[in-house]
A and B are shown apart, each in its own frame.
Chain A
Amino acid sequence: MQRGPITRALEREGTLAFWLLAPTLVILTLFIAYPFARGVWLALSNSTVGEPGHFVGLRNFEKLWDDTIFRAAALNTFVYTGVTTVFKLALGLWLALLLNRHFRGKSWVRAFILLPFIIPTVLSTLAWKWMFDPTFSVFNWLFWKLHIITTRINWLGDPNLAMTSIAAVNIWRGVPFYAISLLAGLQTINPDLHEAAAIDGANRWHRFWHVTWPLLLPVTMVVVLFSVIQTFADFQLVYVLTGGGPANATHLFATYAYQIGIGTGLLSEGAAISLAMFPALLLVVVFQLWYIRKVENR
Chain B
Amino acid sequence: MIEGARWKKWIWFYLPLGAFIVALLFPFYWMVVTTVRPDGELYRPWNHPLYSPFWTSHPTLDHVKNLVQETLFNTWMWNTMLIAAVATLISLFCGVIAGYALARLTFRWAGLLGTAIFVTYLVPQTLLFIPLAEIIRDYRIGDTPWALILTYPTFLIPFCTWLMMGYFKAIPKELEECARIDGAARWQAMVYIILPIAVPGILSAGIFAFTLSWNEFIYALVFLSSPEQKTVPVGVTSELIRGDVFFWGALMAGALIGSIPVAIVYSFFVEHYVAGMTGSVKG
Check if A116 is an interface residue, CB within 8 A of chain B. Answer: yes
Pick from B105, B119, B211: contact of A17, CB below 8 A: B105
Q: Are B262 and A120 in contact (CB under 8 A)?
A: yes
Q: Are B130 and A95 in contact (CB under 8 A)?
A: no
Q: Are A127 and B28 in contact (CB under 8 A)?
A: yes
Q: Are B127 and A278 in contact (CB under 8 A)?
A: yes
Q: Which residues of A contact B25 (CB under 8 A)?
A: 112-113, 115
Q: Are B105 and A111 in contact (CB under 8 A)?
A: no
Q: Which residues of A contact B90 (CB under 8 A)?
A: 27
Known interface pairs A32-B128, A131-B27, A274-B128; A235-B218 also in contact (CB < 8 Å): yes
Q: Which residues of A contact B131 (CB under 8 A)?
A: 35-36, 38-39, 42, 271
The number of chain A residues with a CB under 8 A from chain B is: 104
8 Å CB interface, A248-298 against B? 253-254, 257-258, 261-262, 267, 270-271, 274-275, 277-278, 281, 284-285, 288-289, 292
- For A23-60 the 0/1 string (1 means CB < 8 A from B) is 11101100110111011001000000000000000000
Q: Are A24 and B122 in contact (CB under 8 A)?
A: no
**Which B residue's beta carbon lies closest to that of A94?**
B16
Known interface pairs A7-B187, A32-B154; A222-B281 also in contact (CB < 8 Å): yes
Q: Which residues of B contact A101 (CB under 8 A)?
A: 1, 13
Check if B94 is an interface residue, CB within 8 A of chain A. Answer: yes
Bound-complex Cα distance A117 to B13 (A) = 23
Check if B61 is an interface residue, CB within 8 A of chain A. Answer: no
Q: Are A109 and B27 in contact (CB under 8 A)?
A: no
Q: Are B97 and A126 in contact (CB under 8 A)?
A: no
Interface of B is mostly: helix
Bound-complex Cα distance A177 to B122 (A) = 17
Q: Are B127 and A275 in contact (CB under 8 A)?
A: yes
* Count of chain A to chain B residue pairs whose CB atoms are closer than 8 Å in the complex: 295
Bound-complex Cα distance A119 to B265 (A) = 11
Interface of B with A (CB < 8 Å)? 1-2, 13, 16-17, 20-21, 23-25, 27-28, 30-31, 34, 42-47, 51, 53, 90, 93-95, 97-98, 100-102, 105-108, 110, 113, 115-120, 122-135, 150-151, 153-154, 157-158, 161, 183, 185-187, 211, 214-215, 217-218, 221-222, 232-234, 236-237, 246, 248, 251-252, 254-256, 258-259, 262-263, 266-267, 270, 273-274, 277-278, 281-283
- Name 12 extra pairs, CB < 8 A, besides A7-B185, A20-B97, A113-B21: A21-B98, A24-B157, A31-B151, A115-B263, A116-B27, A118-B262, A124-B255, A126-B251, A127-B27, A181-B278, A181-B281, A222-B281
Interface of A with B (CB < 8 Å)? 1, 3, 7, 10-11, 13-14, 16-18, 20-21, 23-25, 27-28, 31-32, 34-36, 38-39, 42, 91, 94-95, 98-99, 101, 103, 107, 109-124, 126-128, 130-131, 133, 135-138, 140-142, 144, 152, 172, 175-177, 180-181, 184, 198, 219, 222-223, 226, 229-230, 232-236, 239-240, 253-254, 257-258, 261-262, 267, 270-271, 274-275, 277-278, 281, 284-285, 288-289, 292
Which 3 pairs between the two chains have the least Cβ-Cβ distance? Answer: A233-B124, A254-B126, A38-B131
